[in-house]
C-alpha cells in the first residue's frame, strides 16, 4: 500500500442515520451528546473521528464521533453513561422504557453502542 492509499484509508468516513424529530432537535441544539444504538453490523463500522449525519425528514445535522463505548445491554450502558447526555429532558427510567419500545430483547442482545458526538455544523 502506498502512502496515498494509506492517507485515503485514514480519512474519516461519513455515515448517515435517520432519527426521530425530538432527538434530532436535541442533537441540533448541542444538548444531546450521546446517541445510543444496538451494536448491529452497521454500528461496528463506526470509528472515532468519523462523521455522522443525522437526518429527520428534510433536515440534516452533521456531527463528529468523539468516542464509542460498547456495552452488553442498556442497563449496563446507563450505569456508565450520563443520562443527561443521552436525553437531557428525560429521567433514566423513562429513557429505558422508551429505548425498549424501540428495540426488542433480541435486538438488545446484540449489545449496545454509545456514540459520543459533537456538532460540526447545524
Judge whether 108 lies within some domain.
yes
Burial readout 44-53 (b: 16 or more C-beta within 10 A, e: otherwise)? eebeeebebe
Judge whether 2 lies within some domain.
no
Q: What is the mean pLDDT of residues 103-119?
A: 97
Judge whether 1 lies within some domain.
no
Judge whether 50 lies within some domain.
yes
User: Residue 67's beta-bridge partner residues?
Assistant: 116
Judge whether 109 lies within some domain.
yes
Give me the chain's average pLDDT, please.
92
Residue pair 115/47 in contact (Cβ under 8 Å)? The answer is no
Judge whether 105 lies within some domain.
yes
Q: Which domain holds residue 87?
A: 10-119
- Per-residue pLDDT tens over the stretch 7-57: 556 788 999 999 999 999 999 999 999 999 999 988 989 999 999 999 999
Helix or strand run (H / E) with residue 116: strand 112-121
Q: Which of 5, 102, 117 is nearest to 54 (CA)?
A: 117
Q: Give the CATH number for residue 100.
A: 2.30.130.30
Judge whether 40 lies within some domain.
yes
* Domain count within the chain: 1
Compute the distance between CA of residue 30 and CA of residue 24 in angstroms, rounded to an integer: 10
Give pLDDT, residue 58.
Answer: 95
DSSP 13-33: PEEEEE--HHHHHHHHTT---
The SS3 of residue 121 is strand
Amino acid at each position: 500500500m502506498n502512502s496515498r492509499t494509506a492517507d485515503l484509508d485514514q480519512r474519516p468516513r461519513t455515515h448517515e442515520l435517520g432519527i426521530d424529530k425530538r432527538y434530532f432537535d436535541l442533537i441540533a441544539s448541542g444538548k444531546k451528546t450521546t446517541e445510543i444504538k444496538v451494536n448491529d453490523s452497521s454500528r461496528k463500522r463506526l470509528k472515532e473521528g468519523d462523521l455522522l449525519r443525522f437526518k429527520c425528514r428534510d433536515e440534516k445535522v452533521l456531527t463528529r464521533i468523539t468516542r464509542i463505548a460498547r456495552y452488553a445491554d442498556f442497563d449496563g450502558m446507563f450505569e456508565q453513561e450520563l443520562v443527561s447526555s443521552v436525553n437531557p429532558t428525560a429521567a433514566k427510567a423513562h429513557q429505558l422504557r422508551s429505548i425498549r419500545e424501540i428495540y426488542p430483547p433480541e435486538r438488545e442482545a446484540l449489545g449496545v453502542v454509545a456514540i459520543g458526538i459533537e456538532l460540526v455544523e447545524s
